[in-house]
Structure 1
Amino acid sequence: MFTGVQVYAGSPSQSQENSGLTTTEIDRLVERTMEIFQVPGMAVGIIKDGKVIHAKGYGVREVGKKGKVDEETLFSIASTGKSFTAAALALLVDEGRIKWDDKVIDYIPAFQMHDPWVTREFTVKDLLIHNSGLGLGAGDLMFWPTSSFSRDEIIRNLRHLKPVSSFRTEYAYDNLLYIVAGEVIAAVSGMSYEDFVDRRILKPLGMKHCAANRSRLKGHRNIAEPHVLLDGKLQTTFRLEEVYEHSITAAAGGIQCSIKSILKWHHMHLEKGKLPGGEVFLSKAEQARILTPQTITPVSTNKQGWFGTNFSAYGLGWFLEDMYGVKVAKHSGGLQGMTSLNVMVPDLDLGVVVYTNQQAGYDKHAIVYSILEAYLADTKLDWVSKLHEQQKIRVVDAAKTVPDLEAAPYTPDGDLGRYAGVYKDPWFGDVDIRETGEGLTFTSVRSVRLKGSMAPYKPGIFIVRWEDRSLNADAYVRFTTGYDGNPEGFTMKAISKLTDFSFDFHDLDFKRLQPTANNLKKLEKY
């Protein structure tokens, strides 16, 4: 571990810049990382001074099969794709068709936040900078882990999400407002978000191995499959949608891309908006705005110690911070079974990309930190071991908070049948709780993967265990009762600290419905 200015030796402020890792060193670093973190496939790309100096695939697209990952293999790049949404809006600003301070309701009249004043004041820029007042990942259950809501439904349901802070006062990462931003692009341009990105961004930049409109990927074979570790065994897992299907979350994280193509994206940004031939793709002013801090974010203690980090912020589709004394723009992304990390160091004209097909956690950071350190510092830490140990500590710490129901079983008083019924949340919809011979079951009507058994935990509290164990998202269900002692509704909360924040169970507030014929008929098919 190192702190303060001691880590800055070799930074761009010095007379001589470090040369980075050799190809052989990168190969060894990646192979070791994949082995330790149990990652089946990975792609790593580096662009420096306008030239691609490394673009290579490692491992396989799917465990147990022969297909190799290469520089053209498509990965689900998840939230790293938010930078495309920001750039798409910037293109429209350059053309004078929209302003950052325009009100969202002027383009999407159905847009409505919980507070009417916030609705009126909400601007296009506000959609991108994570200070809306909503909580972390609020409403993500409308697309995660099953994408069954339409974009129109998501926009209509925003009004039901209650804020946890005042508008524009605190940072809290969100996805839904990027979906709204995509619909603003569609309203202004007259074409879908996906078609706008394909035609106005991917095509001019020559990003042939990248797709926002995923329908053209049907039949494409060079695509990485998502994987998870379940009980220590590597296995493939589900996608939100099939890779060639329409993605509800395209503007928030539904793009498919390869490192060969994404390095062209980095090149444009590092050249301050210019294409390789010198043509202006994005004005220098708007490209600079994208990488300008908009919302302050916390600086972690680890980064203060590791890199001497002094500031952290969110720009437009990019996180911004200082590492080793220089400004860094970055964004990570994660979907079920896949992760990604894009990093740019403008002062070094350096871009680094890592895509993986396993949601291992710190694997991609171990590679990126090693590469950045080789350019920016005179130290040479073993980031693979360091971050693997960090990950193990997180797992152990999270396990301590998970109740052991077998060691301390609880037997509820009274008839379990009194909990059975149909319960409704205003934005998530209906849940059917039924009594079977083995106890209670939980079935979501709109999110088909949220189906499982309910184990008694404490008076009025159950733990729902999802049938799909790869979710890693078991949750508490806490019933509220009326004066007659019968359940009137329930709230939920994720159990493990490792559960993805998009399982925003804590934002749900279910009320029991009367067992009418219509309600029962609606649930018959589930």
Structure 2
Amino acid sequence: MKLNYIGLCAGLIALSTLQNVNAQTLSASNSNKIERIESSVHKIMSTFQVPGIAVAIIKDNEVVLSKGFGVLKHGSKAPVNADTLFGIASNTKAMTSALLAGLVDEGKLTWQTKVIDIIPEFQLPDAYVTREFTIIDLLSHNSGLGLGAGDLMIWPETTLTNQDVIKGLKYLPQVSSFRSEFAYDNLMYVIAGEIIAKLTGQPWQEVIQTRIFDRLGMNNTRAKFSLIAKNNKNVARAHVPLDGKLNVVGGNFLEQFSSAGSVASSVNDMSLWLKAQLNRGQYDVDDTTLRLFSEQQSREMWQARTLLPVSQQTTAQDKTHFYAYALGWFVKDYHGVKVVRHTGGILGMVSKVVMVPEENLAMIILTNQQSGFALNALSQQILTEYLELPAKDWVEHYAKLQREKTIKKKTQLAKVAANIDKNSTPPLSLAHYAQSYVDNWYGEITISLTNDDLVMQFTNTPALLGKLVHYQHNTFIVRWDDRTLEADAYVNFKLNSDGSINFVTMKAVSESTDFSFDFHDLMLKPKAITH
């Protein structure tokens, strides 16, 4: 017995020693990963002119990294840390989807509930689509409307309300058949917020505060920028690079986008949200296990709904065979595992959430510059480390793509300049163009004649103010006073046979202009003939 006891003790000691060695090996391995990731962050900030980044990584239900790098504002010394607030923009969408999932669990609606059963005034251009449109359709970007359709009602910051958005939907152009194609649509998530408000009797921002932020302990997170305490100085500023110089821009995080993109959060708080996501809606409070939503609803939210194309090159490089939009999430396969992710972007600020449920891995990256290349370089580096993929210089990979994009943009704009007929003059006197115009879904814009210059102002959007510069014939280019918008647009006047103006169309000059500037969806009629 004594020998057996000694042998047992020796075995336990050996096992304990082996476990300690394994733990130390895993700890050392993770430390090496983190060291390489942090090195990439510094290289990314330098390469892509990003003043500040915050990043958190969750692995096996533990936060293995939560840290800030750089500064809140270019030229200042105030550092970014793990509690710094950034606009997470469209990463809000998954939260809105989760709120609806909770209401499904409560029996207040189903995913197949018709939108008109809750918001009777909801109306799209096609009567059949209006009648059949469900909650799933609301979240799946498959309405048949165009990319970013109607975003000018909420971006840049406007005086229009959510009720104005609902009224304007029926006037937007239908560009594809219902449920046939993917086209990213912020307005449908604004409507989703209205659904939540109708069913709960509370504004969306109060519902998300009580049902997600308070429950998870996301104490610094706010539903919109204006709810951030005035004395909170730990808030990142947004930056736009122009001609090699960083410009500080903005003063809010998509306040008008509400349930589509207005949340302000930090990597510490977002780690709590991602833990709940990886745990299929489950979270712990004081040794008690609670749920934001059921495991069934987690599966529903991560189920592919609207397919997106996958190129042969992507399949070869990333081993990706499917790519789709779910409910508030993009989903794809990547080197043999399912990836659930989303990005968020506003003027001067981008963010990214990535989850690999099979690996119990998640990350959140928040930046105060609008470089998607920086964002992708870091997320790919983290995936490479934790999926143990072959090493690759992701910074140089995306730096090369940025250089190619810059050259393409300059080439395209050079062609625009070269096409100008320098001998062309406006067919009408400038005074003829100076009048008010109305679009059915946006509202009124004015063109005034000031000191021999035509000036355009979107009445509901103070930031959209700029001079019209003659391009050729009856086409002008509006050059916005705020150059950081990077959204100059053609303004084309269509004439009647008697020389009067029939209608006006617009289109972004640069192919790189953000899709939320959906000028091409406008049909502006002179106000004088609309009454």
Q: Report the TM-score when normalising by structure 1.
A: 0.91
- Paired residues in the alignment total 497
- Bigger Cα Rg: 2
Contact 1:210 1:261 in 2 (8 A): yes
* Cα deviation, residue 258, structure 1: 0.4
Q: Distance between the aligned counterparts of 1:410 and 1:195, measured in 2?
A: 59
User: What secondary structure does 1:211 align onto?
Assistant: coil
Q: Is the 8 A contact 1:421 1:515 kept in 2?
A: no
Superposition deviation, residue 413 in structure 1: 4.5
After superposition, the Cα gap between the structure-2 partners of 1:133 and 1:406, relative to the gap in structure 1 and judged at 3 Å, is closer
For residues 282 and 156 of structure 1, what CA distance do their matches in structure 2 show? Answer: 32
Question: Match of 1:471?
Answer: 485
Higher helix share: 2
Contact 2:154/2:257 (8 A) holds in 1: yes
- Supply the distance in 2 between the matched residues of 1:353 and 1:147 (Cα, whole angstroms): 29
**Is residue 286 of structure 1 aligned with residue 297 of structure 2?**
yes
Residues 456-512 of structure 1 deviation map (CA, whole Å, 9 limit, x = unaligned): 222211111111100000111111110112222110111112110000001000111
Q: 1:347-366, aligned counterparts within 5 Å? A: 347-366=358-377
> Secondary structure of 2:97's match?
helix
Larger deviation: 66-75 or 209-218?
A: 209-218
Name which of structure 1's ranges 144-153 and 46-55 shifts more when overlaid on structure 2.
Answer: 144-153
Is the alpha carbon distance of 1:432 and 1:215 closer, same or farther for their aligned partners in structure 2, counting shifts above 3 Å?
closer
1:271: which partner in 2?
279
**Number of the residue aligned with 1:491:** 505
1:247 has 2:255 as partner: yes
Alignment correspondent of 1:440: 454
C-alpha separation in 1, matches of 2:431 and 2:200: 54
Q: Distance in 1 between matches of 2:423 and 2:88?
A: 43
Q: Does 1:298 align with 2:292?
A: no
CA contact (8 A) 1:410 1:457 kept: no
Q: Which residue of 2 aligns with 1:522?
A: none
- Distance in 2, matches of 1:98 and 1:78, equals 26
Greater mean deviation of Cα atoms: 315-324 or 294-303: 294-303
Q: 2:422 aligns with which of 409, 420, 427?
A: 409
Q: Distance in 1 between matches of 2:324 and 2:222?
A: 29
Judge which range, 430-439 or 320-329, deviates more.
430-439
Give the Å deviation of 1:214: 4.7
Residue 256 of structure 2 corresponds to residue 221 of structure 1: no
| Equivalent position amino acid for 1:460 in 2 | N
Distance 2:386 2:338 in 1: 13
Once residues 353 and 302 of structure 1 are traced to their aligned partners in structure 2, the CA distance between those partners, rounded to angstroms, is: 27
TM-superposition CA deviations, 1:141-199 (whole Å, max 9, x none): 01111232111111111111121011111110000000000000000011111111110
1:168 maps to what in 2? 179
Aligned to 1:4: none
SS at match of 1:362: helix
Say whether the 8 Å CA contact 1:198–1:213 is kept in structure 2: no
Give, as a single letter, the amino acid of the residue that structure 2 aligns with 1:104.
V
Displacement of 1:436 in angstroms is 3.5
Using CA pairs under 8 Å that are at least 6 residues apart, name the structure with larger relative contact order, 1 or 2.
1
Match of 1:418 in 2: 432
Counterpart CA distance in 2 for 1:164 and 1:447 is 25
Which of 237, 246, 253 is matched with 1:234 structurally? 246
Q: Note the 1:99-498 alignment, pairs <5 A.
A: 99-212=110-223, 214-219=225-230, 220-239=232-251, 242=252, 247-276=255-284, 277=287, 278-402=289-413, 403-404=416-417, 409-414=422-427, 415-498=429-512
Report the equivalent of 1:5.
Answer: none
Q: Using a 3 Å threshold, how does the CA distance of structure 1 residues 406 and 307 change in structure 2: closer, same or farther? A: closer
In the other structure, the counterpart of 1:10 is none
CA shift for structure 1 position 305: 3.4
The answer on whether the counterparts of 2:421 and 2:472 sit within 8 Å (CA) in structure 1 is no
Q: Please, what is the CA RMSD of the aligned residues?
A: 2.0
1:55 is aligned, of 34, 47, 66, to 66
Q: Quick one: distance in 1 between partners of 2:510 and 2:226?
A: 36
Name the CA distance, whole Å, in 1 between partners of 2:509 and 2:302: 36
Secondary structure at 1:411 match in 2: coil
Change (3 A) 1:360 1:213: closer
User: Whole-Å Cα distance in 1 between the matches of residues 401 and 312 of structure 2?
Assistant: 13
1:396 shift after superposition: 1.3
- Which whole-Å CA distance do the structure 2 matches of 1:310 and 1:457 have between them? 45
1:504 aligns with 2:518: yes
CA drift of 1:73 comes to: 0.5
Q: Which moved more, 1:38-47 or 1:277-286?
A: 277-286
Distance 1:504 1:215 in 2: 26
| Aligned-residue identity in percent | 41
SS at 1:369 equivalent: helix
Secondary structure of the corresponding residue to residue 256 of structure 2: coil
